[in-house]
Chains A and B, each alone.
Chain A
Amino acid sequence: MNSSILGGSQAVAEPPQDDEYEAVEGLDRASIECTRMHEAAAAKKTASDYEHIVWSYGVLWSLFAIYGVMLWRRGARLRGDVETLRTRIDKA
């Protein structure tokens, strides 16, 4: 899973053969791999956390929305009921 991330760092980790490269200090292959691994794990955790957040937000507001729709329909029914009542009274 980390190979794609580590692929980019391969060139850096390779010891320079000729003078075209300037040695980068303090970066050996193992520590880079370790860093990348932690970064990947953290990114994955954050992504999963955000997924959880979106789900819970969605659930919460859709609950409100569903209740709102139920109230709306109830109101419509009530209005109809009042209309029938009014016609009934007018007839009487």
Chain B
Amino acid sequence: MTRQIPIVLLAIAAVVFPLSVHKIFLETGIERQLGTAQKIFYFHVPMAWIMMLFGLVCGIAAGIQLRRQSRRAEAVAIAAGEMVVLAGLGVLITGPIWGHASWGKAWTWDARQVTTGLLWLVFVAYVLVRRYGAAGSDRLAAALAIFGAVDVPVIYYAVKIWKTTHPSNDVVGTLPPEMWAALWPALGALLATAIALVAVRARQEMIEMDVDDAWVRVDELREAAKGAAS
């Protein structure tokens, strides 16, 4: 049953994605100030939300992993951490493309760009520690993820007092309803894809842990058999 979830989600994304493209490009007007390039907004912003969401998921799962020694939580944390890196890469690439089209400058060092960049670096560090850390660094990586999740607002305010030129937060709040209508399907398609990939990755991680344990058991049994034979 749980095996089908990613497939169902991907199928939903496959249906919703053309719908969202239709809505974005044919049914929604062109924004007056930012022009056609503003249409990047409809998948740039959902991608940023996905990044934040999975950053939070990663931090919480890492907390559960530390507290309860739960393998499921550990697998979810790993998968979510990788998704943060992936979504962050998406945000960090589409953002400058939009900036280049609208402001004429790809990277302006404004608060939200830098915040996203720093947060992305934290989760890249998480993935690096998971991948290259010595055995037993899983708890260290979990602490890193928790720090990363806690750091989100801190980084945001730190960057804000550091410098700001970005459209302020209420841009999303005052969006005309037709733009909201175009934003939801895009968010749905991207979120469904992201969740599906995270679910697949988490499942793989759990299987991998089991296989590792099985290998160790086989080795132990072989050693024992060898010891008994000699």
Contacts and interface: CB of A to CB of B under 8 A. Distances in A.
Instruction: Answer whether A and B touch in the complex at a CB cut-off of 8 Å.
Output: yes
Interface of A: 45-46, 48-50, 52-53, 55-57, 59-60, 63-64, 67-68, 71, 74-75, 78, 81-82, 85, 88-89, 92
A75 B197 CA distance: 12
A92 B219 CA distance: 11
A92 B218 contact: yes
Given A56-B94, A60-B93, A71-B204, 19 more contacts: A46-B35, A49-B36, A49-B39, A50-B36, A52-B40, A52-B97, A56-B93, A56-B98, A59-B93, A60-B47, A60-B190, A67-B86, A71-B200, A74-B204, A75-B200, A78-B208, A85-B214, A92-B221, A92-B225
11 contacts: A52-B37, A53-B40, A60-B93, A60-B94, A63-B89, A63-B90, A75-B200, A78-B207, A78-B211, A85-B218, A89-B218
Nearest to A72: B200
A56 B40 CA distance: 7
Contacts of B201: 71
Contacts of A85: 211, 214-215, 218
Contacts of B190: 60
B45 interface: no
Contact of B197 (A48, A49, A52, A71): A71
Given A48-B101, A56-B94, A88 B218 contact: yes
Contacts of A82: 207, 211
Contacts of B115: none
B207 A64 contact: no
Looking at chain B's contact residues, the main secondary structure is helix
Closest 8 CB pairs of A and B: A49-B36, A56-B94, A52-B101, A49-B37, A56-B97, A60-B90, A59-B93, A46-B36
B43 interface: yes
B9 to A, nearest CB: 12
Contacts of B44: 56
A82 B218 CA distance: 12
B197 A67 contact: yes
Contacts of B207: 78, 82
A59 B90 contact: yes
B36 A53 contact: yes
Nearest to A82: B211
B163 interface: no
